[in-house]
Structure 1
Amino acid sequence: MNQLRSKGFIRPLRPEMQGVKRAIDTGIIFVSMFASLELYQIPFTREYLILFIACTVLFGIFAEHQEIYHGWRGDPMFDDALRILLSWIGSFAVVSSGVYLLEPDFEFSKQVLELWFPLVPLGIILVHTLRRATLSFLRLHGLNVRYYAILGANPLGKRLNIALTEMPWLGYHFAGYFDDRVENPQRREQGELIEDDITGDFKELLKRSQRGEIDHIYITLPLRAEVRINQLIRELADSTVSVNIVPDFFTFNLMQSKLSSVKGIPVVSVFDTPLNSVLDGMAKRLEDLVLCSLILPLIAIPMLLIALAVKVTSPGPVIFKQLRYGVKGEPIEVWKFRSMSVCENGDTVKQATANDSRVTPLGAFLRRTSLDELPQFLNVLRGTMSVVGPRPHAIAHNEYYRKQIQGYMLRHKMKPGITGLAQISGCRGETETIDKMQARIHYDLEYIRQWSLWLDIKIVFMTVFKGFVGEQAY
C-alpha cells in the first residue's frame, strides 16, 4: 500500500495568509481613495473606479515582482517598506501615463490625486508595520514562540543558527545542535563538526521531539547524505515535529539562484541571470535609454572634437571596431576611438602595456581618461551593450581566460557595460597576471549576484569620481 501512496508536492508557505494580506492592501487602496474624495466632496465616478481598479491590479503585479507577500518572518521592515513604495510608484506612474496618452478626456481632481498618491503607501506600510510589531511583541513576551533544533553540527547549521538568533523578535528559541557522527575522525580533521556545541545525538533529538519539546527541526546534513537523511525523516515521522531540510547549496558558487517549480516539482537554479523577468529586462533597457538621453547631448561636441583630433594626428580610421563577446557569449562589434597605430582584431590580441609603442600620443591620453570608450554609448543605443555591466574583453582574451579562471564565462549572463563594479573598484588596465583578471571577474560576478537599478545608479555616480582615470590604464 505504501507504494501507491502519493508523495505530494511542495506548495507555497501559507498561501491563504498571502491572500488575506493582498485583500487588506486592496482595501487600504480603496479606503484611501474614498477618504480623499470625501475630504474634497467629489463623487466616486466611473473614472475613479477605473483608476482604482487599474492601480490595484498593477500594484498587485509589481508587488508580486517585488515579493512583498513572499517574505519570511526574518525580512527587515525597511526592505518591505521600500518594496511597497516602489511598487505603488510604478503602478501609479504606468496608469497615469496610460490615462494621459490614451484617455486625455478623463478629468481627475488634482487635489484628490495629490492626497491619494502618498496616502496609499503610507497606509499599507503602517498596517504591515503594526502587524509585525504586534507579532514581535507577543513573541518577545513568550507568546507564539517556537523551539527549534538543528540536525547537523556543521558550518551550514551554525550559519542558520546565527541568522535565527540575531532576530530574537521572531520568537524562535534554540534547543541545540544534534549530530550522531561525532566519532567520525575524518569529519573532525576537516573541521566539519562543531563538537563543543553538540547537545546530543539523533536518538536524543527523537526522544525530545516525541515528548513535544521541539517544534521545528532543521536538517543541515550535506547533500551526499541522502540515504541517511531519508532514514532520519522516516523516524521523525513518529512525532509531531515540523521537519525542514536546509540543502547545502552554498557548496556551489551560486549566482542569482532562485527556487521555482515545474508542476509542483521544485527546481533550484544555480547559475541564472537577474534579467529573466520581463519587468527587470524592461527596467534595465529603460535605464540605458534614459542615461543615454542625458549623457549623449553632453558628450556630442567632445566626441566630435576627439574624432577630428584622431583623424588629424595619426593615419587610420577614427573608430576602431573590435569583435567581443556580448550577452550569452555571442560576438558583438564594440566601438572605440582608435588609440593605437594598429587595429588588432584576430585570434591573438596583445594587451596594451606601459610605454606601448603601438599607442599614439593622443591615444595614451584617451586611454588614461577612458575618453576612447565614449562611442560605446552608441552601442548602448543599438542594444548590444549596457551603460553598466561587465566590461567586454577581446574574443582572443575570452578564449584564453575561460580556460584559466573557473566561472569566467558567467560574466556574459548580462550585457557588457561601459563601466562596472570592477572599474570603480580599481580593476582597470592591463591584466598581466591571472590574479588581476581573477579580481576583475570576482567583481563582475558579484555585480551580477547583487544587481539592482540602485546598484547601477551607484556605479554610474562612482564612475564620475573614480572610474574614468587610473594609473594602470595604458
Structure 2
Amino acid sequence: MILSAREGYSKYLKLINISFDILIITVLFPVFFVNLGLNNLHFGAYQFVAWSIIAYFSGFYEVYRYTPVQQLLSKLFKQGLLFLLVVIAFFPFAKTTVFSGAATAKYMVAIFVAIGLFKLLLFYYLKQYRITTGSNFRNAIIIGYTPESLQLREFFEQKAEYGYRFFGFFSDKVTNPDVKGSVAHIPQFVRDNAIDEIYCSLNEMSNAELKELVDFADSEGKVIKFIPDAKEIFSKNLRIDYYEFFPVLSLRKTALHEPPEQIIKRGFDILFSLLVIILVLSWLVPLMGLLIKLESKGPVFFMQSRPGVNEKEFFCYKFRSMQVNNTTDTSATKNDPRVTRIGKFIRKTSLDEMPQFLNVFKGEMSVVGPRPHLWSQNKAYGEAVNKYMVRLYVRPGITGLAQVKGFRGEITTPEDMINRIRYDVFYIENWSLLFDLKIIIQTVVNIFMGEEKAY
C-alpha cells in the first residue's frame, strides 16, 4: 500500500520542526561552549549528524494530530537523554577541547526548553486553530456500522481539536439514517466530497472487497485505516495508533513519504547531479552540440513536457536525437526514421539522457525513480493499469528499477507497462539509499553491455 504524498500541512510541519531544532542546536552551542578550545565546525557537523540519527531511530518527529501530549513529552525526554550522551561522548576524542559539565548542562537545558516550548505551543496552537477557524481538517468516512465504528464517530464529533470531520457511515449490512449508502457508493462519494481518510471495519468486507478498496485508495491518493476486530490482519505493514484510548490500524507509509528520507534522497540527488554537471556536462555539452549541429539543423537540446511528481508539469531535457518533427508525442520505435545517425549512437549509449541531471539539480527529477512517461501514456494507462498513479507520488528518475530490469523504451504490449509499473511500485515501497546506488551501478553496467530496447 502506498500513501499519497498529500498529507495536509503535516509534511510542512515536520520540516518546520526539524529546521527549528537544527537551528537551535546550531546557534546555541557556540554561546555555551566558549573558551573550551572547541572546533565549532567539527562539533556542529557532529551534533547535526548525531541529532538526525537519534531522531530517525527514536521516531522523534512522528507526531500526528491524534498524538497525546504525554507521548510528545516522552519523545522529548528520550531524544534529550540520548543526545546528551552523544554530546558528552564527543569530548574524549577532541584532545584540544576541555570538557565542562556545567556548560554542557546549561546547553542541554537551553536547547530542550526552547525545543520543548516550541513543540508544545505549536501542538496546542494547531488544535485551537482547527476549532476556531475550521481549517486544517481531515474529511473522514467509516465503512461498517458496529459498536467500534460508533465509538470512532463519537471521538470525531466530541474531539474537534484533533481536526476530523465525519461525513457518514457506509454499509451493506445495516440500513438506517446514519448510513449514507452501500460499499459500492464509496468511490463516487469520496470523489464528490473530497474525503481524505477512509476507516474500515474489517467485519464489513470480504478479502476481495478489501483488496479493491486498497487499490482505490492507492489510485486516488487517499489514506485508508482499519478498525481492529477479530480478523487476523496484523503484519509488518501495519502499525497501531491510538485516538486517545481507541485503537486504529494504519498501513505504514513508505520511506519516501517521510521528511528525513526525502532530505537524504534530495541531498544525494543534489550532490550527484552537481558532480555530473561539473565533471561531465561541462565538456560533453559543447562536444555533443557540435556533433548534433553538424548532422542536422535544429536545437542541441530537446525539451519535452512530462508529468512530474503529483502530475506537475515539467520540461525534460535531452540531447536532440531526431530530425526536427511534429510527432514528438510518440515514443521512438525500432529503426525509427526520425532518429539521426548521431541520435542512434547517443540513444544506444543513453547519452541523450545526460542533460536530465539539470532537471535533477533543479528538483524536477531524481537520479533514480520511475521514468517520466509521455502525457499520452499517462492518460492511456492511468486508469487501465492497477497502481499506475502510485508512481506519480515521487519524483521521476533518470534511471529506475524497471529500466535496469529491461522494461525501458517502446511499449508494445500492455504487459510491458504492467511490468514497468510493478517494478516502479516495488522500488517506491522498498527505497533505500543503498538501493539507489545498486540501480545506478547496474545502469552503468547495462550501458556498456548494451541494451536491446535502447533505440
Q: How high is the TM-score relative to the length of structure 2?
A: 0.51
Q: Deviations over 1:310-336 (max 9, x none)?
A: 122112211111111111121111111
> How many Å separate the matches in 2 of 1:356 and 1:317?
20
The answer to whether the aligner puts 1:471 opposite 2:417 as a matched pair is no
Structure 1 residues 371, 61: CA separation in 2 closer, same or farther (over 3 Å shift)?
A: closer
Look up the SS of the partner of 1:282 in the other structure. helix
The answer to whether the aligner puts 1:324 opposite 2:306 as a matched pair is yes
Q: Deviations over 1:72-98 (max 9, x none)?
A: xxxxxxxxxxxxxxx9xxx99x99xxx
> How many Å separate the matches in 2 of 1:227 and 1:466?
46
Match of 2:336 among 347, 353, 356: 356
> How many Å separate the matches in 1 of 2:454 and 2:205?
55
| Bigger shift: residues 314-323 or 56-65 | 56-65
Match of 2:265 among 284, 289, 305: 284
The answer to whether the aligner puts 1:338 opposite 2:320 as a matched pair is yes
> How many Å separate the matches in 2 of 1:387 and 1:459?
10
TM-superposed CA distance for 1:467, in Å, is: 4.9
Structure 2 unaligned segments of length 5 or more: list them. 1-34, 61-78, 98-199, 207-227
Structure 1 residues 381, 264: CA separation in 2 closer, same or farther (over 3 Å shift)?
A: farther
Q: Deviations over 1:13-44 (max 9, x none)?
A: xxxxxxxxxxxxxxxxxxxxxxxxxxxxxxx9
Q: Deviations over 1:227-261 (max 9, x none)?
A: 99xxxxxxxxxxxxxx99665388xxx9x876555
> How many Å separate the matches in 2 of 1:258 and 1:414?
23
Structure 1 residues 296, 257: CA separation in 2 closer, same or farther (over 3 Å shift)?
A: farther
> How many Å separate the matches in 2 of 1:227 and 1:394?
37
> How many Å separate the matches in 2 of 1:464 and 1:417?
15
Match in the other structure for 1:315:
297
Letter matched to residue 316 of structure 1: G
Greater C-alpha radius of gyration: 1
TM-superposed CA distance for 1:373, in Å, is: 0.5
TM-superposed CA distance for 1:59, in Å, is: 4.0
Letter matched to residue 233 of structure 2: D
> How many Å separate the matches in 1 of 2:242 and 2:379?
35
Structure 1 residues 108, 264: CA separation in 2 closer, same or farther (over 3 Å shift)?
A: same
Matched positions, count: 272
Match of 1:306 among 288, 295, 307: 288
CA contact (8 A) 1:292 1:381 kept: yes
> How many Å separate the matches in 1 of 2:368 and 2:244?
36
The answer to whether the aligner puts 1:65 opposite 2:56 as a matched pair is yes
Structure 1 unaligned segments of length 5 or more: list them. 1-43, 70-86, 100-106, 114-221, 229-242
Q: Deviations over 1:422-463 (max 9, x none)?
A: 111111221110111111111111000100111111111221
Letter matched to residue 406 of structure 1: N
TM-superposed CA distance for 1:276, in Å, is: 2.8
CA contact (8 A) 2:240 2:248 kept: yes
Match of 1:407 among 387, 404, 409: 387
Match of 1:434 among 414, 419, 428: 414
Alignment of 1:231-246 (within 5 A): none
Match in the other structure for 1:165:
none
Match in the other structure for 1:380:
360
Among all aligned residue pairs of Structure 1 and Structure 2, give the percentage whose two residues are the same amino acid: 38
Letter matched to residue 290 of structure 1: L
Alignment of 1:268-283 (within 5 A): 268-270=249-251, 272-283=253-264
TM-superposed CA distance for 1:269, in Å, is: 5.0
CA contact (8 A) 2:203 2:231 kept: no
Alignment of 1:129-148 (within 5 A): none
> How many Å separate the matches in 2 of 1:284 and 1:333?
21
Q: Deviations over 1:164-186 (max 9, x none)?
A: xxxxxxxxxxxxxxxxxxxxxxx
Structure 1 residues 443, 68: CA separation in 2 closer, same or farther (over 3 Å shift)?
A: same
Match of 2:432 among 438, 444, 452: 452
Match in the other structure for 1:248:
233
Letter matched to residue 331 of structure 1: E
| Bigger shift: residues 332-341 or 58-67 | 58-67
CA contact (8 A) 1:336 1:375 kept: yes
CA contact (8 A) 2:303 2:316 kept: yes
Structure 1 residues 364, 315: CA separation in 2 closer, same or farther (over 3 Å shift)?
A: same
Letter matched to residue 335 of structure 1: Y
Q: Tell me how large the CA RMSD over aligned residues is.
A: 4.3
Letter matched to residue 274 of structure 2: S
CA contact (8 A) 1:405 1:438 kept: yes
The answer to whether the aligner puts 1:225 opposite 2:203 as a matched pair is yes
Alignment of 1:130-279 (within 5 A): 224-225=202-203, 247-248=232-233, 260=241, 268-270=249-251, 272-279=253-260
Structure 1 residues 360, 247: CA separation in 2 closer, same or farther (over 3 Å shift)?
A: farther
Q: How high is the TM-score relative to the length of structure 1?
A: 0.49
